[in-house]
Structure 1
Amino acid sequence: MTYPSVLFINCTLKQSPEVSNTDALWRCVAHFYCQQGCQIRSLRTADLQILSGTTLDEGTGDDFPQVLSQIQQADILILGTPLIWGNRTSECQRLIERLYGTLSAQVDAATGQPILYGKVFGLVAVGDQDSCGQGGAIAHTCQDFSRLGCIHPPHNWVTWFRPIDTEADFIEAEGKHAVSVNKAAKVLVENSIALLEMLRNEPLSTNLHAATQTAKKLSQAATVETGTFILPKTITTKDSPSQNEISYRHVTKRIWTVMQAGAQRGFKFKVVSLEDRTFLAERAGKGFIYKIYPGHFSFRIRYQDYDAEQLKSHKLSLLAQQGLAVPISYGTFKSAVDIPDDLPSPIVAKPESGSLSQNVFPNLKTPEQLQQAAATIEASGDVIKLESHISGRDYRVLVINHQYAGCVERRPANVVGDGRRTIRELFHLRNQEPGRGDRYETHTTIHKLVFDRTSRQRLESAGYSLETVLLEGEVFYLQEKITASTGSDYIDCSDQLHKSIAEDCVAFSHRFKTLTLGFDVITTDITRPLTEVGGAFNEYNFLPYVDLHENCNIGKKRSVCALIWDYVEANADRIVTERFDPF
C-alpha cells in the first residue's frame, strides 16, 4: 500500500517562526493523518515570494513554480487561512489567482484536464465570531478549488471561530480540545483518504476536449422558434431596470453599437436570450428576431457550409481562389510531434478555429518556439495551423452590404515617450483616457492597458524598467499580440486605404449573402497595393467587430452601422413584419 502524501499550505499573514493559530488548528488535523501513516509536508506562503499574476511563472524571483510542483506531487491538498472580517487573507487570494493560470496551461493534451483535476481538497480556517460572513468565505474558497478541478470529500473543512464572549484566539482558548474541532478533523481525514482510494482505483477520465466539442455542436445545431419566446425583456439605459427590463450593459459593446444605430431609425430592442445572443427589434408593432447582427440568422439558415467556413485553412483557400495574396500554408497538424523539422522561418502558429487572437503565435523563429506554441494550441484541444509570417501592421477592413465601410489599424498596447515621464507614469496616463474599460468588461470597445508577464519580459529584453524615461516620440509596446482586453489601440485609416484593397474586399464579399464581412490585412503600407509591398489577406469573418470603427480611440469615428439599417429599411416589407420572423 502506498501511503498518501498530504500538503498543507498555510496562508497566514505571519512569517515563520511566528506562532500561527491556523497552523495550530492544522496540527489537530495532521494528528489524524499521521495515525493513518500519511506523509505530511507544509509551507507558509508568507515565507515565500509568490508574485501577483495569473500565469504559471511571473519571472525572476517568483516562488510559485516551486509551490505548484509540491501541490502536483501531493495526493491531498489542505489549504489553511485565517478569516479576517469574513474574508480570506490576501496571501490566500494571491495563491488562488496564480492557480487559475493552471486552467489554461499544462492541461492534459488528451483529455484537456487541468493539472489539479482530481486532486483531493480540504480546508482549515480560523476566525472571529461565526457571525461575520465566515461561511461565505469558506464556500467561495471551496468553489474556487472546485473550478480548478479539485474534488471535495464530504465535510471537507475544519473551522474554529472565537466565541463571542472572549478575546482569546485558538491557542489561548485551547481550541485543540474542542469536541467539534477534533470530530471535524477526524471526519475530514477519513473521508479524504477514502475518496483518494476510490480515485486511485478509478481516476476521473472525463474528456474536457470532447465535452467542449459536443457543446459547440449542440449550440451550432440549435434553432430558434419564435413560439418559444416568453416575455422577452426590454433593453433599457435606466440605472434601475424594472422586472421586465434589462440593462444595456448586459450586452456586448459591438451588439449595443448596432442597436444604437437601429434606435435612431425608431426601433426598440428586447433580449430573447443573452446566452444565445438573440434579440428582437420592434417598431410600431412590427419587427424581426436576429442573432448578434441583423441578417445573421437568415445567412446561417441559407448557408449550409457555415461551420466549415470557420476553419482558417478553408478561408485562406477561398481567398487564394479569388486571386488575393495570402500567407503560405504549411498545413494543419493534430499534434506538435507531427510538425516537420525543416519548415522555413519565421512562421505563425494558430488554432485552426478560434478568434480574438487567442493562442496565436506570430514570428516564431526557432524550433523551440514553434514546439512550445504548438503544444499550447494542442493543449487547448484545437488543431494546429502553420503558415508563413507576414511582416507589417495589422488592419481590419469592413464591408457591409457589399459596400466598403471603413478600415482601422490595430496596434498592441503601447506607451509613447515624451522625454519627461517614466514608463510607469505613461502607463497610468494612458489608462485615464476616456472610454477605456476594465480588462474583463464586455460593454466597452477600448480596454485599459495591462501590465503582465509579457510586459515585464519586454521591459527586461529592452533593458528598461518601469522607471525608464522614454525619448520623445519613442514607442514602447507592452504587449506582443493585439488583444482588446490588454489595451490595444484602434486607429481609423478609412481614407488612407488603397482603393485596390477595398475593391478586392467588396468583390470577395459577393461570394456570400451576408450583411457584414471583416477582412484582416497585414501590410507595411496601407496606401499601396498589397502586391507592391508583400502584404496579404490573413483572414475574414462574418461577424466583425463593427464597434472598432464606431468607437476607435484614434482618428475619425465612422457610423458604419447605419449601412446595416439602410439595408433593413430598403427591405422593410420583407424583414419588418407582424410575424417577427428570424432575420
Structure 2
Amino acid sequence: MPDPTTSYSDLRALVINCTLKRSPERSHTQGLIDISTGIMQRQGVQVEEIRAVDLDLATGVWPDMTEHGWETDEWPVVYSRVMAADILTLAGPVWLGDNSSVMKKVIERLYACSSILNEHGQYAYYGRVGGCLITGNEDGAKHCAMNVLYSLQHLGYVIPPQADAGWVGPAGPGPSYLDPGSGGPENDFTNRNTTFMTWNQLHLARMLKDSGGIPAHGNQRSEWDAGCRFDFENPEHR
C-alpha cells in the first residue's frame, strides 16, 4: 500500500549488479534486484540498472584510468550515473564466502572518486543513500553486506537502518535463487528484509533531499585544508 503522505517521484536510484554473468545470461542477483526496484518504481522513482561486468571498467584507483595507461575505461560514465542518483544499491553474489571480484572492482572505482568535493567542500558522495543486496547458495551474506555497507559509509554515503537484504540456499551445491524449487522468491525473511531495506532507503533519501543533504559544517575538506578546525583546538586560525 503506497505511503499516502509522501511523494518519492523526484528521487533517482541506481542499482549496480555485480554478477559475474554477462548479459543476457540469467542473473540470480537480478531476481532479488527486481523486488527492490519494483517497489521503487511503483512509487514513481526513476530507477537505472547497470550490470558492471558488461562494461569495460579498468582496474585502478584513479577516476579515469585512461589517464594512467589504460586504453579504455567506462568508469567515468558510470560515475556520472552514480552522481545523478539519490540512492545507490550494490548487489552481487557470494563466492568463497566473500563478495564477487566485480563487486570489489566497483567499490575500488567508487573509492577512486571519493576525494572529489561537492559545491560545499564536502566529499562528493555526501547526501546520498546506500544499501546492498546479496545472493548465493553458500554462507557469507552478512559478511559480504558488512564489507559493502562499511565501504559505502566510509566514502560518504548515508546508510539507513537495515540497509541490506539477501538470500542464500543451503551450504554447498544446490539451487540458486531463481532455480526451480529453491524457495528463494517465496522466502518471507528475504522478501520482508528486501522490502524494509527499500523503504528505508526511500525514507532517508526523502529526508536528505528535503533538508538539502548533510549540513556543511565540521565536514568540509576544503575548509579544513584552508586551516579551519571546527572547534578542534587551533589557536592559529580565526
Per the shorter chain, which TM-score range?
A: 0.7 to 0.9
1:10 to 9, 17, 23: 17
Write the distance in 2 (CA, Å) between the matches of 1:127 and 1:110: 40
SS in 2 for 1:160: strand
Q: What is the match of residue 214 of structure 1?
A: 229
- Residue 71 (str. 1) matches residue 82 (str. 2): yes
Quick check: which has more Rg, 1 or 2? 1
State the shift of 1:174 in Å. 4.0
Q: Which residue identity does 2:36 align to in structure 1?
A: V
Unmatched 5+ residue regions in structure 1? 222-306, 309-583
**What is the identity, as a one-letter code, of the residue corresponding to 1:170?**
Y
**Equivalent position SS for 2:229:** helix
Q: Which residue of 1 is the match for residue 4 of structure 2?
A: none
Question: TM-score by structure 1 length?
Answer: 0.36
SS at match of 2:177: coil
2:135 and 2:141 in contact (8 A); partners too: no
Q: Which has the higher contact order (CA 8 A, sep 6+)?
A: 2
Q: What does residue 142 of structure 1 align with?
A: 149
For 1:179 and 1:37, the matched residues in 2 are separated by 25
CA 1:25 to 1:110, structure 2 compared with 1: closer, same or farther past 3 Å? closer
Query: How much has 1:135 moved relative to structure 2?
Result: 2.1
The aligned counterpart of 1:484 is: none
Structure 2 gap ranges (5+): 1-6
- 2:120 aligns with 110
Question: Does the alignment pair 1:168 with 2:175?
Answer: yes
Of the candidates 202, 207, 216, which is equivalent to residue 198 of structure 1?
Answer: 207
Asked if residue 100 in structure 1 is aligned to residue 111 in structure 2, the reply is: yes
Shift in Å, 1:110? 3.5
2:98 corresponds to which letter in structure 1? N
The equivalent residue for 1:564 is none
1:18-38 per-residue CA deviation (whole Å, 9 max, x = no partner) reads 111111111121222222222
> Over aligned residues, Cα RMSD in angstroms?
2.2
Which residue of structure 2 lines up, in the alignment, with residue 186 of structure 1? 195
Quick check: 1:84–1:128 contact (8 Å CA) kept in 2?
no
Q: What is aligned with 2:3? A: none
In structure 2, C-alpha distance between the alignment counterparts of 1:211 and 1:125, rounded to whole Å: 37
Instruction: Report the alpha carbon displacement of residue 166 of structure 1 after superposing the two structures with TM.
Output: 6.5
Instruction: Say if 2:41 is the partner of 1:26.
Output: no
Letter in 2 for 1:169: S
> Which one of the candidate residues 30, 34, 57 is aligned to 2:64?
57
Gap change, CA 1:164 and 1:89, over 3 Å in 2: closer
1:158 pairs with 2:181: no
Measured after TM superposition, the shift of residue 17 of structure 1 is 0.4
2: CA distance, partners of 1:193 / 1:215: 31
- Report how far residue 215 of structure 1 moved: 6.8
Give the whole-Å Cα distance in 1 for the aligned partners of 2:82 and 2:172. Answer: 39
Q: Do 2:137 and 2:175's aligned partners in 1 also have CA atoms closer than 8 Å?
A: no
Return the alpha-carbon distance in structure 2 between the equivalents of residues 99 and 180 of structure 1: 30
Secondary structure of the residue aligned to 2:14 is strand
How many residues of Structure 1 are paired with residues of Structure 2 in the alignment?
A: 218
1:64–1:216 CA distance, 2 compared to 1 (3 A)? farther
Q: Does the CA-based 8 Å contact 1:85-1:128 persist in structure 2? A: no
For residues 15 and 42 of structure 1, the distance between their equivalents in structure 2, rounded to whole angstroms, comes to 14
Higher strand content, 1 or 2: 1
Kindly state the Cα deviation for residue 127 of structure 1 after the two structures are TM-superposed. 2.1
